[in-house]
Amino acid sequence: MKIHSTVLVILHSPREKVWGQLLDLNPAGVTIHGLDLNAFDEWLKQWGSEEEGGLATVFYPLHRVERMELDEPIGDIPSLEQRFQQRTHLTLADYLQTRRKATNG
């Protein structure tokens, strides 16, 4: 997987699924700028509102990573990023770049 790919990471102990942009992958673990998959739909619903949440940058040790997969469509089922794009008209990379610029001034 390439850095800045949109990925879904499945973790264990405790079981979690995280969606976001891969920032780093090394023997110690993975760093993702994203959110818990359970919060994805609510996050999309809040898009453009005053309650809009953001994504977090989190490191997960490799011993917790069960699997990591690219966020890709499966047949007619859109990927999570495609769902994000349909709602926001932005790719995840464009959204994150816009947020970085807004935060850094």
pLDDT tens digits for range 27-80: 999 999 999 999 999 988 887 766 667 899 999 999 999 999 999 999 999 999
User: Bigger pLDDT: 71 or 97?
Assistant: 71
Please give the full DSSP string across 41-81, using - where no structure is assigned: HHHHHTTTSTT----EEEEEEGGGEEEEEE---BTTBPPHH
Could you tell me the CA-to-CA distances from 102 to 51, 66, 91, 95 in Å, in that order?
Answer: 17, 34, 17, 11
Is the pLDDT score of 102 beyond 80?
A: no
Q: How many CB atoms lie within 10 A of CB 44?
A: 15
Domains and CATH numbers, the chain: 6-104 (2.30.30)
User: Bigger pLDDT: 87 or 105?
Assistant: 87
Give pLDDT, residue 52. 64
Give pLDDT, residue 105. 60
Angle between helices 80-88 and 92-104 (to 10 degrees): 60
